[in-house]
Amino acid sequence: MGKQIEVAGWGHQMRVAADVERPETVRALESSCHGQGIARGLGRSYGDAAIAPERVWMMTRLNRMLSFRNGVLTAEAGTSLGDILRVFLPRGYTLPVTPGTQWVTLGGAVAADVHGKNHHTAGTFSRYVEEITLCTADGEMRRIGPGRDPDLFWATVGGMGLTGLILEVSLRLQAIETGYISVDYFRTRDLEETLNWFSVHDASYPFTVAWLDCLASGRSLGRAVLMGGRPTERAELSGRQPAFPMPHRTLRMPFSLPSGMLSRSVGVAFNAAYYGVHRPGAQQIEPWWKFFYPLDVVDDWHRLYGRRGFAQYQAVFPAEVGAQELAALLGRIQNARHPNFLGVLKRMGPSSPGMLSFPRAGLTLALDLPMQGEGTSRLFRELYAQTADLGGRAYLAKDSFLTPDLLQRMYPRLSEFRAVKKRVDPAGRWRSALALRLGLAGGS
Amino acid sequence: MANGVLVLGATSTIARALSARWARDGVPLHLVGRDTPELERIAQDLRIRYGSDVSVLGCDIAAGDFPQATVTAMGQHAPLRGIVWAFGTMVAAAGAADAQSLRAGAWVNFGAAPPLIEALLPLVDRQGFIAFLSSVAGDRGRQSNYVYGAAKAALSVYGLGLRHRLRGAGPSVTVLKLGVVDTRMSWGMGVPGGAADPEAVAAEVQRAIGAGKAVAYVPRRWALVMAVIRHLPEPLFNLLRI
Ligand SMILES: Cc1cc2nc3c(=O)[nH]c(=O)nc-3n(C[C@H](O)[C@H](O)[C@H](O)COP(=O)(O)OP(=O)(O)OC[C@H]3O[C@@H](n4cnc5c(N)ncnc54)[C@H](O)[C@@H]3O)c2cc1C
Ligand SMILES: NC(=O)c1ccc[n+]([C@@H]2O[C@H](COP(=O)([O-])OP(=O)(O)OC[C@H]3O[C@@H](n4cnc5c(N)ncnc54)[C@H](OP(=O)(O)O)[C@@H]3O)[C@@H](O)[C@H]2O)c1
């Protein structure tokens, strides 16, 4: 039995009423598996990827771990990464790749082919996926992988749920000695220095990321706090420290702040505080959650942005795009006087074989922008046009504003994806609001 | 595997949350139900997460050899630390249900319990427990679900009668009167105040069993809600759309 409820993306600026199924057994999944709609995990995609005007299959109750052999975990797609860490860290295994929040599901991680701070060395999530079980439009449960119907596999990886419902994922975990990361902090004075930092340090750190000071302008535009991290070894810990620490409770945002309260001035304070906190060159040994998931300390933090919600711009540019072009882009946001608080910059490694996978070699930039009506939409349209002109692409897991023609320009393997979609879903059963917006729903 | 807990209807979401708590405490589990592939998935999950001892037993409460097959198969696991009854199914309001589903509703929610529990009783440790996941719906007949409610009322009375009989001489019996819990059973129902989280409910259920309570309302606020509903004079009660 479905339930009529409103579902939204993480940015809460896009919502739709849908008939929501939440299967708790495989049988229930199979018997609910009719009609048009889309799978949903923990709803951490920002825009409209996991919402649909028809049906939504909430996969979070299908979260059983099914086998663990030779370092490979097979679990149901609704299992969260946070759950996996809690079970396997104490046994000396971690996720080979993780996004900036642990509260995503295996299914969501495959469907968006997520990347982490180690993309330049480790690639995307799918590199460690050995097989998945996919429920396709014909009701079949198919075991697929890089060696078993590779076309369907690489269309499903990064395919945003549009090839079917992922029921199981087999993921190779990574052995580690401790649950800590040894982090070196740096700061830079401008964009040039920030980009140089990656050139120098990507070779020595498996984890690198830059937090941009979004309010710095002029000569300081692009200054950043940068982190280079590597797994801490057992010998670096004092005897008293537990090798695999676990976090305590999280804080909760009980209600939405009134729109606009997280205004420009709060942004100044936030950035200044963050910028001031770390002494350059100081090394710290940080527990995993602090390094990988700084935002997870507050549940429902999207409420900080108020009822109107927010959107994220994330794009990746080809390697040729440098400081000058990026500065122009950041300058445009500042000229629009549009508030934005969080900026993240990172250099990515080579792309994955996923047909719609986002990452490719070059710089990726992510900015959270509170929704301010038409002004925000206009800014996005401008940013996206400029992104496409630079040969870059936007990340579907974050997107709310792309159009079909921009998609075509940004994703050169789109036609390959469409061919697979046509083969396994000729009637266009699997469709999200995003798919309808971007002409990816298929069917006639 | 000595001193395990037998979970009847182990594919229930609340039962699964309870099983996880026992598994975490190192208690062996025997998962019973009709959907063995599903039980096997739950068992695997408990083994991987908690390294626990879990066995699975198919049991069809509608079959001709019920309950003997189950009782025979469980014999090897005696003495049991406890039994949880979690079987249950929602029944449409009587006007909307056919004879078949009315009969099934009465059987799954109550009818199958006495023959199975009485036969399993000798397998339970004298210091052990028997717990019934019953419902606040049994506290007063309401138009929306009185067939379900009637069966749950019968289950509650059965449990308390059993407790009376076994006092001082056998396992302790606890009747859990559950409010609305967020599972497939309540999915789609609008609930004022929201449905309770199954894991929080499981924690309270485990506590009530451990404390040897006769009856426990879970979540606790339902004790108050049901006291009001039970005592509401009929003219007022008739105004309620529940
Ligand atoms: C704070 C924060 C930080 C983030 N950081 C990063 C980051 O560093 N790197 C990165 O790559 N991403 C990042 N993300 C984005 C996030 O990792 C992706 O959006 C991810 O897909 C979310 O997973 P989910 O389970 O919440 O899926 P949802 O948001 O519910 O769904 C996302 C997509 O996956 C599909 N999907 C979900 N489950 C299934 C299934 N079982 N079968 C088929 N399709 C399915 C949906 O249809 C949808 O298209 C971040 C998000 C947040 C909120
Ligand atoms: N959820 C609530 O709001 C709520 C409120 C009050 C009381 N309760 C009671 O608490 C218990 C657990 O609830 P839940 O929400 O966790 O239930 P659930 O997930 O719906 O599970 C019900 C259990 O009963 C089994 N079952 C149902 N019909 C059956 C049939 N015809 N034959 C054999 N087995 C059958 C199911 O097996 P299959 O998996 O094989 O279907 C499952 O094991 C139930 O007794 C319920 O009545 C629940």
**Pocket lining: A397 vs ligand 1, CB cutoff 6 Å:** yes
Higher pLDDT pick, A416 / B143: A416
Same domain for A238 and A207: yes
Last residue of a domain, one of A124, A147, A176: A176
Q: Domain total for chain A?
A: 2
Last residue of a domain, one of A176, A194, A223: A176
What tens digit of pLDDT does each residue of A266-299 get? 455 545 655 665 565 668 999 999 999 988 877 7
What's the CA gap between B54 and A157, in Å, rounded?
Answer: 34
What tens digit of pLDDT does each residue of B100-142 get? 999 999 999 999 999 999 999 999 999 999 999 999 999 999 9
Same domain for A113 and A89: yes
Report the SS3 class of residue A436: helix
Q: How far is B182 from chain A (nearest CA, A)?
A: 11
CATH label of the domain that carries residue A317:
3.30.70.2520
What tens digit of pLDDT does each residue of B14-49 get? 999 999 999 999 999 999 999 999 999 999 999 999
Q: How far is B232 from chain A (nearest CA, A)?
A: 31
Residue A145 lies in domain: 65-176
Q: With beta carbons less than 8 A apart as the criterion, state whether B89 and B10 touch.
A: no
Closest Cα partner for A110 from A64, A58, A163, A67? A163
- pLDDT category of residue A252 using cuts at 50, 70 and 90: low
**Chain B partners of A69 at a C-beta cutoff of 8 Å?**
none
* A282 φψ region: left (φ > 0), alpha (ψ -120 to 50), beta (else): beta
Cβ atoms < 10 Å from Cβ of A345: 24
Secondary structure of chain B in the HEC alphabet? Answer: CCCCEEEECCCCHHHHHHHHHHHHCCCCEEEEECCHHHHHHHHHHHHHHHCCCEEEEECCCCCCCCCHHHHHHHHHHCCEEEEEECCCCCCCCHHHCCHHHHHHHHHHHHHCHHHHHHHHHHHEEEEEEEEEEEEHHHCCCCCCCHHHHHHHHHHHHHHHHHHHHHCCCCCEEEEEEECCECCCCCCCCCCCCCCECHHHHHHHHHHHHHCCCCEEEECCHHHHHHHHHHHCCHHHHCCCCC
Mutate to test the pocket of ligand 2, among B14, B16, B103, B204 (most ligand atoms within 8 A of CB): B14
Q: Which ligand is nearest to the CA of B191?
A: 2
**Pocket lining: A100 vs ligand 1, CB cutoff 6 Å:** yes
Query: Which atom of ligand 2 is nearest to B189's Cα?
Result: 3
Query: Which atom of ligand 2 is nearest to B178's Cα?
Result: 6
CB pair distance less than 8 Å for A22 and B184: yes
Same domain for A271 and A156: no
Give Cα A239 distance to the centre of its chain.
Answer: 36
Same domain for A227 and A165: no
Same domain for A316 and A364: yes
Same domain for A262 and A357: yes
- Please give the C-alpha separations between residue A140 and each of A136, A429, B25, in angstroms, as whole numbers: 6, 14, 39
Same domain for A263 and A302: yes
Report the SS3 class of residue A14: coil
- Please name the amino acid found at residue A89: L
Last residue of a domain, one of A176, A206, A234: A176
What's the CA gap between B10 and B20, in Å, rounded?
Answer: 11
**A68 Cβ under 8 Å from any chain B Cβ:** yes
Q: Find, in chain B, the residue whose alpha carbon is nearest to that of A75.
A: B45
A48 domain-assigned: no
What's the CA gap between A168 and A150, in Å, rounded?
Answer: 17
Cis before A242 (ω within 30): no
**Pocket lining: A246 vs ligand 1, CB cutoff 6 Å:** no
A6 domain-assigned: no
**Pocket lining: A111 vs ligand 1, CB cutoff 6 Å:** yes
Facing B48 at nearest CB: one of A22, A23, A65: A65
What tens digit of pLDDT does each residue of B153-198 get? 999 999 999 999 999 999 999 999 999 999 999 998 877 778 999 9
Domains of chain B, start order = 5-237 (3.40.50.720)
A167 domain-assigned: yes
A204 domain-assigned: yes
Same domain for A255 and A148: no
What's the CA gap between B104 and B112, in Å, rounded?
Answer: 10
CB pair distance less than 8 Å for A66 and B45: yes
A421 domain-assigned: no
Which of A102-116, A361-375, A384-398, B170-184 is least confident?
A361-375
Q: Is the ipTM of this complex over 0.85?
A: yes
The sign of the dihedral angle between the CA atoms of A154, A158, A162, A167 is positive
Average pLDDT, chain A: 91
Same domain for A147 and A93: yes
A21 domain-assigned: no
Q: With beta carbons less than 8 A apart as the criterion, state whether B173 and B129 touch.
A: yes
Same domain for A185 and A171: no
Q: Which of residues 15-44 of A touch B (CB under 8 A)?
A: 22-28
CATH label of the domain that carries residue A138:
3.30.465.10
Q: Which ligand is nearest to the CA of A160?
A: 1
A382 domain-assigned: yes
Q: Find, in chain B, the residue whose alpha carbon is nearest to that of A22.
A: B184
Same domain for A154 and A206: no
Indicate the Cα dihedral angle B68, B73, B75, B81, nearest 10°: -100
Which of A69-73, A304-308, A332-336, A382-386 is least confident?
A304-308
**Pocket lining: A363 vs ligand 1, CB cutoff 6 Å:** no
Same domain for A284 and A150: no
Rg value, chain A, Cα: 21
A95 has pLDDT over 90: yes
**Pocket lining: A10 vs ligand 1, CB cutoff 6 Å:** yes
**A69 Cβ under 8 Å from any chain B Cβ:** no
**Pocket lining: B22 vs ligand 2, CB cutoff 6 Å:** no
**Chain A partners of B184 at a C-beta cutoff of 8 Å?**
1, 22-25, 28
A375 domain-assigned: yes
Percent of chain A scoring above 70 in pLDDT: 91
